């Protein structure tokens, strides 16, 4: 039987990662917001000071099967800093292709991120989810995450480029 392996992404995975980023954005009904390119993913994740780290879930064919390993999911994370708690991991994306869901792959990716967080002495691991994505919300809660909007009322904000330019006068 084919098996699943969660491993660190390599530069050569960026094409697959971009494909899955687009699938996730489509699922989130926000595909028009994806501006990232494979080149940017290569440069930003695999240079001297990487801006992000990525895990990929790969299906390994059973002995005798001719299919090569195939990337069916990913988890992309980076380090942030909390003035209250110190070192923190932020999981930007987690995604598994529809036909491979419900087999524990997403949970394996999330568990691996928790392992990396502890190895790097992070005291928390954060992520955000759209308010209609109840299945993902239920999964995160089942895995032990706390809903910060429910518990503490946080709103998530961003300055886009135009707003930043106005602020910076550039």
Ligand X SMILES: CC(C)(COP(=O)(O)OP(=O)(O)OC[C@H]1O[C@@H](n2cnc3c(N)ncnc32)[C@H](O)[C@@H]1OP(=O)(O)O)[C@@H](O)C(=O)NCCC(=O)NCCS
Cα(8)–Cα(54) distance, integer angstroms:
6
- Mark 103-122 with x for binding to ligand X (rule: CB under 6 A) and - for no binding: xxxxx---------------
Of 6-14, 46-54, 90-98, 149-157, the segment contacting ligand X by CB under 6 A is 90-98
Residue 105 near residue 20 (C-beta atoms within 8 A) = no
Report residue 9 as tokens.
């992404």
- Clarify whether 78 is annotated catalytic: no
Q: Does 10 bind ligand X (CB under 6 A)?
A: no
Cα(17)–Cα(6) distance, integer angstroms:
14
Of 47-55, 117-125, 132-140, 153-161, the segment contacting ligand X by CB under 6 A is 132-140
Q: How far is the CB of 98 from ligand X (least distance, A)?
A: 7
Of 79-87, 116-124, 127-135, 154-162, the segment contacting ligand X by CB under 6 A is 127-135
Helices (H), 9-155: 14-27, 38-46, 105-119, 134-142, 148-152
- Mark 24-63 with x for binding to ligand X (rule: CB under 6 A) and - for no binding: x--x------------------------------------
Report residue 80 as tokens.
């942030």
The SS3 assignment for 124 reads strand
Q: Does 135 bind ligand X (CB under 6 A)?
A: yes
Cβ closest to ligand X, residue 43 vs residue 136 = 136
Cα(113)–Cα(126) distance, integer angstroms:
10
Cβ closest to ligand X, residue 25 vs residue 43 = 25
Residue with tokens 């989130």: 28
- Residues labelled as active-site residues: 140
């Amino acid at each position: 039987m084919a098996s699943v392996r969660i491993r660190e992404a390599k530069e050569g995975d960026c094409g697959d990662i971009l494909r899955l980023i687009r699938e996730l954005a489509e699922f989130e009904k926000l595909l028009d917001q994806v501006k990232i390119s494979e080149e940017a993913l290569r440069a930003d994740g695999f240079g001297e000071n990487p801006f992000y780290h990525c895990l990929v879930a790969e299906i390994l064919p059973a002995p005798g099967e001719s299919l090569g390993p195939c990337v069916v999911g990913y988890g992309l994370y980076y380090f942030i800093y909390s003035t209250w708690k110190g070192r923190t991991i932020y999981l930007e994306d987690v995604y598994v292709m529809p036909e491979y869901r419900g087999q524990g792959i997403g949970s394996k990716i999330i568990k691996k991120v928790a392992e990396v967080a502890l190895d790097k002495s992070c005291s928390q691991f954060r992520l955000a989810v759209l308010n209609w994505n109840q299945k993902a919300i239920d999964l995160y809660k089942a895995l032990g995450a706390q809903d910060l909007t429910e518990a503490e009322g946080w709103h998530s904000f961003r300055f886009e480029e135009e707003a930043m330019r106005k602020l910076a006068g550039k």
